[in-house]
């Protein structure tokens, strides 16, 4: 499958997970999952961008806007918190606001990037979207967060890396605009996971050996047998639940999943580049946003990254950008090369 453009929405939960719930859960959960799939398909097919409020003209200072949809499906909704205002007391509103801030700080302090477009673009988030909506997505202009169903999923603002993942899709859109299918789409998802995890590590001041390397930790309720939606350290081990099934992510090219579902497996095969990033980060130690993080960021913004790049093309470019930043014989380049070799992408 080779679509010519990025779809209107990039969802956090993969469709195969929602389809499983819709076909085998309780009547209420079936309804929640089915309605979420309908909403996701509707937004994916729409076109047109939202008129954004003023951004920030001061580099290093974000412009955040948080709205509530009041359980309707209207975007952006009612403005409830803007830049500089104090906590509202509503967990969804405040988690979204602080998540946007933490993600901005990662991109600014680690990579010198001023918001999504590097020109101070306003960062918008809508919470309380729909009734029992079980997803979060980037729609080309803003982030949207559902409340979850309270049985399987908590609110989608509860994990910082989910907020950062969705905002990072915006950065990817403005830089590489990777086609959302097959290996290019899996790279899109993986990059969003990478920067999502880095935002959490950066906010908590964690070294690589202190980080959990989980994506969506805290999203599942206690009813689900799982730690998170994905594990960058051990793809395929994040959950194993009677209802949700087993985490299908591979961590090596020998297990690459060939499928037409999920836009060619974009949420599944992203485990391979995710693991490569984790291996390189662990080999280098310290703070990942200082070591391998800049290599991945430099590769994302490199004009040589084609929209349809596969894993091998991206990996080769990381060696080029790593050499440009750290030197051809640096330990950073050696660690990156070994990581790609370990997951079967490079010989």
Q: Is 94 helix (H, G, I), strand (E, B) or coil?
A: helix
Alpha carbon distances (Å) from 294 to 136, 213, 270, 297: 27, 18, 19, 5
Q: Is 220 helix (H, G, I), strand (E, B) or coil?
A: strand
Strands of 136-138's sheet, edge to edge? 10-11, 136-138, 143-145, 123-127, 64-68, 78-82
Q: Is 11 helix (H, G, I), strand (E, B) or coil?
A: strand
Alpha carbon distances (Å) from 307 to 4, 46, 139, 168, 300: 9, 21, 19, 16, 11
Which phi and psi (to 5°) does residue 136 adopt?
-140, 150
Question: What are the residue numbers of the active site?
Answer: 166, 267
Burial (0-12, 13-18, 19+ Cβ within 10 Å), 96: buried
């Amino acid at each position: 499958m080779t679509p010519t453009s990025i779809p209107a929405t990039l969802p956090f939960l993969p469709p195969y997970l929602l389809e499983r719930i819709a076909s085998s859960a309780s009547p209420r959960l079936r309804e929640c999952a089915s309605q979420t799939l309908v909403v996701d398909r509707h937004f994916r097919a729409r076109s047109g961008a939202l008129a954004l409020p003023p951004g920030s003209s001061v580099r290093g200072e974000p412009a955040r806007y948080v709205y509530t949809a009041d359980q309707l499906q209207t975007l952006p909704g009612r403005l409830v918190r803007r830049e500089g205002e104090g906590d509202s007391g509503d967990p969804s509103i405040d988690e979204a606001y602080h998540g946007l801030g933490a993600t901005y700080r990662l991109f600014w302090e680690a990579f010198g990037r001023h918001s999504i477009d590097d020109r101070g673009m306003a960062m918008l988030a809508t919470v309380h979207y729909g009734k029992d909506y079980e997803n979060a997505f980037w729609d080309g202009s803003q982030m949207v967060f559902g409340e979850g169903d309270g049985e399987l999923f908590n609110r989608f603002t509860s994990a910082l890396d989910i907020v950062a993942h969705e905002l990072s899709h915006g950065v990817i859109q403005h830089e590489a605009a990777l086609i959302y299918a097959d290996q290019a789409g899996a790279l899109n998802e993986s990059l969003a996971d990478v920067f999502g995890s880095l935002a959490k590590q950066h906010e908590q001041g964690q070294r690589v050996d202190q980080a959990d390397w989980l994506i969506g930790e805290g999203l599942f309720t206690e009813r689900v047998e799982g730690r998170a939606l994905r594990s960058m350290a051990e793809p395929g081990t994040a959950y194993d639940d009677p209802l949700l099934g087993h985490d299908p992510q591979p961590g090596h090219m020998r297990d690459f999943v060939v499928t037409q579902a999920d836009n060619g497996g974009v949420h599944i095969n992203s485990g391979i580049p995710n693991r490569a990033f984790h291996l390189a980060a662990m080999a280098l130690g310290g703070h990942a946003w200082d070591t391998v993080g800049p290599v991945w960021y430099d590769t994302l913004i490199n004009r040589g990254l084609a929209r349809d790049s596969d894993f091998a093309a991206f990996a080769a470019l990381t060696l080029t950008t790593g050499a440009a930043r750290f030197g051809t014989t640096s330990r950073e380049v050696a660690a990156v090369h070994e990581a790609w070799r370990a997951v079967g992408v490079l010989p």
